[in-house]
Structure 1
């Protein structure tokens, strides 16, 4: 009997809070999107022996080889310890090498190996296909708006 009397209040509660409650809440849907994209992304990178984190490090180095580890952390908004383990595995895989900075021995710089350079030709088309699958049916103007909105929401929480 109590269930029946609470039903209208449950509906009112849901209507008031549906923008934050799972499964209709904004944060929950962003999390689901992130999980689905990560899974698809990982599946596509796996044949290359690359993880999504390797991909973002490679992207930084393709843009500017020889970055200090601190600069990579800053660009990727990562904690140093996390990056160290990733760089260890990338070095073992033969994708990068680390060298001490010639002017400041406290700084380690990260350089692409030939194998890491070669992936610059192979991986971007694979990742673009994942992006296109993700954004299928969304017009270019909407994609641009989505990108701007994502940038703004990230900036809101990054401070």
Structure 2
């Protein structure tokens, strides 16, 4: 197996996404939806631009993801204070229920894939990975 950095990042992201989507298959979520549910669990009632930025999703792509989530009654989009230019996105009760399932799934998959790795190795990995992410986003603070 190629151990170059770019290859390992791409393979691990693909494998992680596949494990998560396979575990969530009974809920018929598509790629991008678990990440959006996770984000809204922490930032419920935010504007679409914040979701796009926080999830690293292009605004046009996010619009499609949110439309499908709205059809499934996982979210609702509303204006706030009469400002029709900004739509705020809220989890519905069903969306909150599914967000908890997504969160549990993330935790289970993380525990599985990090088994046999010490706490100090995990901490070092997360710190390094966070620095790399900051370098790629050119920001000091990720959401």
TM-score between both structures, scaled by the size of structure 2: 0.88
Shift of 1:75: 1.4
In the alignment of these two chains, the number of paired residues is 138
Q: Which has the higher helix share?
A: 1
**Deviations for 1:115-159, whole angstroms, at most 9, x for unmatched residues?**
011124433222211111111110111111111111111111222
Q: Which runs of 4+ in 1 moved over 4 A?
A: none
CA distance in 2 between partners of 1:82 and 1:107 (Å): 17
Q: Which has the higher strand share?
A: 2
Larger radius of gyration: 1
Q: Is 1:34 the counterpart of 2:13 in the alignment?
A: yes
Equivalent residue number for residue 141 of structure 2 = none
Q: Is 1:106 the counterpart of 2:71 in the alignment?
A: no
**With CA pairs under 8 Å and 6+ residues apart, which has the higher RCO, 1 or 2?**
2
Name stretches of at least 5 consecutive residues in structure 2 with no aligned partner: 139-143
TM-score between both structures, scaled by the size of structure 1: 0.80
Question: Aligned-residue CA RMSD in angstroms?
Answer: 1.6
